[in-house]
Structure 1
Amino acid sequence: MMKKRIGFIVILTTIVLLASGCTQAKDDLTISTFKNSSRQEKRDIWEPFSKKYDLTIKTEFGNDKERLENSDAGIDIIELLQKDAVAGNKEARFKKLDFSKLKNFGLLSKQQQKIAKETNSIPYQVKRLGVVYNANKVGEIYSWDQLWDAGLESSIAVPNITTELGPQMLYMVQGHYQRKQVTSVFVDTGQLDSKTMFMELNNLKPNILKVYDDPNGLSQMLKSGEIYVAVVDDIVGQKIQKANPNIKFVFPKEDDYIGYKTAAILKNSESDKDYQYLDFLIEKNQNNLKQVDRLQMLRKIDYEFLNKHLTGYTKEWNEIIN
């Protein structure tokens, strides 16, 4: 009888150990992210994070839509543009964040915290729309409205609507129309009026020589004189300016248009380091994130509204541009 009882205890203990082993978190972290920023993120984020927590980081790349649609299997963290974070949260693909687990959450501004709470994702990098130009060809550029000047015919490059800067480009175009309405009071709802926006895009069309998906070739085009002006983000613009003293990068004086890169924990994540990773992103991007606090003319972008209308906007954009 005693032998039977001992045998039962051993078997039961083994079952408990096996069961607990099944629920142990894995010792790696799989991240779905942007391919075009992988080199910098590997150096600044992934390598120091993996060293700090003694784990392996695995990565998957692709465009936001594809990565979001295929985010169910084996991925812990997904990094997305702000518009896609809004879409992913609406589709309930992310874990509901427990912000008490984020030690660095208080380092985010109130607006950034609001974005995090509304999307269950952490805004970790901001990009700000600006203009890079060949000062030897066009003189000084200080206003968004100068992009419509007749003297810039067939000399401007702009981001495609489907790129990271597509939303900011649309709002900048509508901003040109709104600034011309000197007798009306402007209320920034974060939404777009497609009629006036596309009217101004059509007015801008004679000046557009190139619609780009990848900004890598812009520096050479500016240097060679193939284009004189390009609408870019601050990271690209400052890099181009640094490479050529005749090329200048500016933030036009009127309005500021920004967009965030975000990171979310997917519902099926099995990692016990997912919150630590979000915290690490906030910590390492503090200087970038804090610049938003200084912006006095920040325009709202309603991403739920934009996502709802983006298919129609893309069709109309292509009809005008192409």
Structure 2
Amino acid sequence: MKHIKLIITSIVLILLAVFTVATLKTEDKPIVVSTFGLATTQMKKDVLNPFTKQTGVATRTQFGDSAPRLVQVEHKKHSGIDVIELSQSNTQTAADKKILKKLDFSKLHNFKYLTSEQQQLARDTNGIPYTVNSIGIIYNPKTCGQLTEWNQLWNHRFRHRIAIPEITTTFGPAVLYLAGEHAGVPVAKDDGHAAFQSLARLKPNVVKTYTQSSDLTNMFKTGEIDAAIVGDFAVSMIQLSNSNLKYQVPMSRTYANYNTVSILKTSQHEKTAYKYLDFRISNAIQTRVASTTSQNSAPVNSSVHLSSTNSRNKTYGKVAQRARIINYSYVNSHLSEWINHWNKLMN
């Protein structure tokens, strides 16, 4: 009897050992992170390498623009990617097409440090916000005086003197929302009809609808424009070429755009993927990547406190408090129609 019990015990221990080794082999394998192609050196130095150091799990990385990376995982079910970082609009598309894993937020210790609006965005899309940008007005005070509000851009004195983002860019839909606010009719109330009428009144002032923020640098340099609507992520770059330019986020409001991080349904490393999501919104990493010497990314973790230098031109503090979240489920369902209308009107 003792001999049989010993054999059974040995078999159980062997099976447990095999299961443990198999589990470790699965979770210890490198996870594949698909992320943006900007500041890749800082991404490796300040996010990926520290994650490996803390967890012991290596990462492999795919860098590139948000939309092409989304198309890849959408059409290649076994891409090998575990975690994907996308723009808010693309995250909504991924959520609608059900390629993201439904998240258990109780597994994220740092989720509680997001605002209620950010948490709701995560619940709606299964994408955890990890950084945020918003729009403001960059302008030449020598030719514009002081610009403090969006409505000033409709003034006739700016005829052929301003630039705005193209509708297909990150903040293109936000411009339509601003036009709706100027008209006194929110976009969602009439599907943007009043907003386009407002844009028609703005059109004489618009010399260019741009797709690249870098275009603004040359336009200010040559004196082609006096003011532009721009995302805060581009302000420092533009001001490098002209330190006299000022950036103003109107007190009335601004519109936010989040980058989010999600786990793909096809991920084979769910446990490690959750660790990465939580790591991405931790105080230490959010503080590190917010530095001007790193990725200069605005934090979403409410426990992060930035210096005046690192908070400059970011959606942080009082600016973040007046930033409105755009419903990209609504935007994406209307975007094709809006693009056609925009092209007929503005181009």
Alignment TM-score, normalising by the size of structure 1: 0.84
Q: Which of 234, 237, 240 is residue 238 of structure 2 equivalent to?
A: 240
Give the equivalent residue in structure 1 for 2:228.
Answer: 230
Are 2:139 and 1:138 equivalent residues in the alignment? no
> What is the distance in 1 between the residues matched to 2:252 and 2:19?
63
> What is the distance in 2 between the residues matched to 1:151 and 1:44?
46
Shift of 1:298: 4.0
> What is the distance in 2 between the residues matched to 1:115 and 1:256?
17
Q: Say which SS state the counterpart of residue 259 (structure 2) adopts.
A: strand
> What is the distance in 1 between the residues matched to 2:277 and 2:19?
31
Q: What is the aligned length?
A: 307
Contact 1:102-1:275 at 8 Å conserved across structures: yes
Cα deviation 1:104-163 (Å, max 9, x = unaligned): 111111111111111111011111110111112211111101111222122212111111
Change (3 A) 1:102 1:211: same
> What is the distance in 1 between the residues matched to 2:28 and 2:321?
45
Shift of 1:191: 5.5
Q: After superposition, where does 1:47-126 map in structure 2 within 5 Å?
A: 47-71=49-73, 72=77, 73-126=79-132
Change (3 A) 1:42 1:233: farther
Give the equivalent residue in structure 1 for 2:3.
Answer: none
Change (3 A) 1:136 1:203: same
Q: Say which SS state the counterpart of residue 36 (structure 1) adopts.
A: coil
Name the amino acid aligned to 2:35: T
Give the equivalent residue in structure 1 for 2:279.
Answer: 280
Larger CA deviation: 309-318 vs 38-47 = 38-47
Contact 2:176-2:187 at 8 Å conserved across structures: no
> What is the distance in 1 between the residues matched to 2:164 and 2:49?
34
Larger CA deviation: 162-171 vs 262-271 = 162-171
> What is the distance in 2 between the residues matched to 1:285 and 1:195?
40
> What is the distance in 1 between the residues matched to 2:42 and 2:164?
24
Contact 2:100-2:263 at 8 Å conserved across structures: yes
Are 2:254 and 1:251 equivalent residues in the alignment? no
Q: Say which SS state the counterpart of residue 22 (structure 2) adopts.
A: helix
Q: Say which SS state the counterpart of residue 70 (structure 1) adopts.
A: helix
Contact 1:191-1:302 at 8 Å conserved across structures: no
Q: After superposition, where does 1:130-209 map in structure 2 within 5 Å?
A: 130-178=136-184, 193-209=191-207
Shift of 1:215: 0.9
Shift of 1:243: 5.3
Shift of 1:19: 10
Q: Which of 34, 37, 61 is residue 35 of structure 1 equivalent to?
A: 37
> What is the distance in 2 between the residues matched to 1:214 and 1:57?
31
> What is the distance in 1 between the residues matched to 2:224 and 2:33?
39
> What is the distance in 2 between the residues matched to 1:288 and 1:31?
20
Cα deviation 1:184-234 (Å, max 9, x = unaligned): xx7x68566321111112222222222222212322322331221121112
Q: Which of 262, 265, 269 is residue 264 of structure 1 equivalent to?
A: 262
Alignment TM-score, normalising by the size of structure 2: 0.78
Give the equivalent residue in structure 1 for 2:290.
Answer: none
Give the equivalent residue in structure 1 for 2:292.
Answer: none
Contact 1:157-1:227 at 8 Å conserved across structures: yes
The CA RMSD over aligned residues, in Å, is: 2.9
Shift of 1:64: 3.3
Name the amino acid aligned to 1:218: L
> What is the distance in 2 between the residues matched to 1:39 and 1:229?
32
Are 2:335 and 1:317 equivalent residues in the alignment? no
Shift of 1:275: 1.3
Name the amino acid aligned to 2:223: G
Quick one: percent identity of the two aligned structures? 36
Give the equivalent residue in structure 2 for 1:301.
Answer: 326
Give the equivalent residue in structure 1 for 2:22.
Answer: 21
Cα deviation 1:216-267 (Å, max 9, x = unaligned): 2322322331221121112212443365331000002322211111110001
